[in-house]
A = this chain, B = another copy of it.
Amino acid sequence: MKAVVYQGPHAIEVKQVPDAKIEKATDVLVKITTSNICGSDLHMYEGRTDFAAGNIFGHENLGVVIEIGNAVDRVKIGDRVCLPFNIGCGFCENCERGLTGYCLTANPGFAGAAYGFAGMGPYSGGQAELLRVPYADFNCLVLPPDAEEKENDYVMLSDIFPTGYHATELAGVQVGDSVVVYGAGPVGLMAAYSAIIKGASKVMVVDMHKDRLALAEKIGAIPIDDSDGSCVEQVLALTGGLGADRGCECVGYQCCDHKRHEIPNLTMNNLVKTVRATGGIGVVGVFIPQDPGAQDKLAQQGQIAFDMGQFWIKGQHIGTGQANVKAYNRKLCNLIAAGKAKPSFLISHELPLDKAVEAYENFDARNDGWTKVVLKPGK
């Protein structure tokens, strides 16, 4: 089969590899029809992780089941399924509480597994023609009849739509709230979109890229341009000086100031400043336990200089981590099926698998207009 294979920092290749196949009785085999490139792929692509050369990328996958293991009960050949990026077993202590992003079985010795992801177990990615799906009855979201027609919407259920939604859950967004989202990349936009779906009264999105801010505005959010570093003042002005009820971090450890220097504590401390006393903060942007290549000494050890005093005095709370996709994908699927959500609005490029090299280069460079790329292995 053809697949997008990591070769080393900033180098990938689309090439033939052995076919994915059923390995256990609870597996199914999926013919991938859509697989997205994610911002997290770029961390690995840039060589800032221990992702090994030869591995296949792709954790945002959708396709058609073509073979099932003999202990599979629910999923049928021919089902069009969307796969949560995190792989759960369905029966460990965390999975049974719904914390499927922290499965204790699928990646022994660590809480959490994923397809094609550094540190998340031995699972190949889906930027390929075929994908093996473990614990398939648990992991497959079988899509409604209109799945093919809305495939570019449903594929967002694999990661970024639930991840953006998770940010709003961690922050505690409720009807009528004001919300500030840091980052207008795909996840930040999905967080803003989720807050709007939940009935927030005012959603502000902070970024420096005008094309992304324009998308934020298009879905009904208030764009906050931080090109001059004034986002804190702007958010406070829009919230009567008190700050927003809730805040979402959708940038992560590589956040930059307006001069494009990495300032790892920038968004977290801005959140403390711009969220009201007693407010909630949800962090889905990735922070990592060590970053040996970082310039900042604290960052090398995975630390940030955090405004703990301000945070405590304001009585705020923070929730973090990868989304438990299965906790949200059914409900968000219902919205797509009912025509009440259309997350494909953020797709900028739909390309065949063969164009993956060009896609990674442009997306990694944050080139203007490359918001979100979906790859189509079959085309």
Contact = CB atoms under 8 A, between A and B. Distances in A.
Interface in A284-317: 286-291, 298, 301-317
A219 interface: no
Nearest to A313: B289
Contacts of A177: 331, 334
Given A25-B71, A304-B308, A331-B177, A201 B278 contact: no
A174 interface: yes
Contacts of A105: 73-74
B326 A321 contact: no
A210 B41 CA distance: 51
Nearest to A136: B91
* Interface SS, A side: loop
Contacts of A326: 96
Interface stretch (A181-189, A335-343, A353-361): A335-343
A314 B306 contact: no
Contact of A91 (B74, B316, B333): B74
Contacts of A112: 277
A313 B340 contact: no
A99 B279 CA distance: 11
B111 A314 contact: yes
A283 B312 contact: yes
Given A71-B26, A102-B277, A105-B74, A321 B312 contact: yes
A307 to B, nearest CB: 6
A287 B312 contact: yes
A262 to B, nearest CB: 14
A90 interface: yes
B71 A92 contact: no
Interface residues of A, number: 83
Nearest to A94: B278
Given A98-B97, A176-B335, A92 B74 contact: yes
B302 A303 contact: no
Contact of A308 (B138, B198, B287, B337): B287
A298 B306 CA distance: 9
Given A111-B278, A278-B99, A89 B73 contact: yes
Contacts of A99: 278, 315
A323 to B, nearest CB: 10
Contacts of A73: 26, 89, 91, 105
A9 interface: no
A309 B302 contact: yes
23 contacts: A24-B71, A26-B26, A26-B71, A69-B71, A74-B89, A90-B137, A93-B330, A99-B315, A102-B315, A174-B331, A176-B331, A176-B334, A201-B331, A201-B337, A201-B338, A265-B308, A288-B312, A289-B313, A303-B305, A312-B321, A314-B320, A316-B321, A317-B320
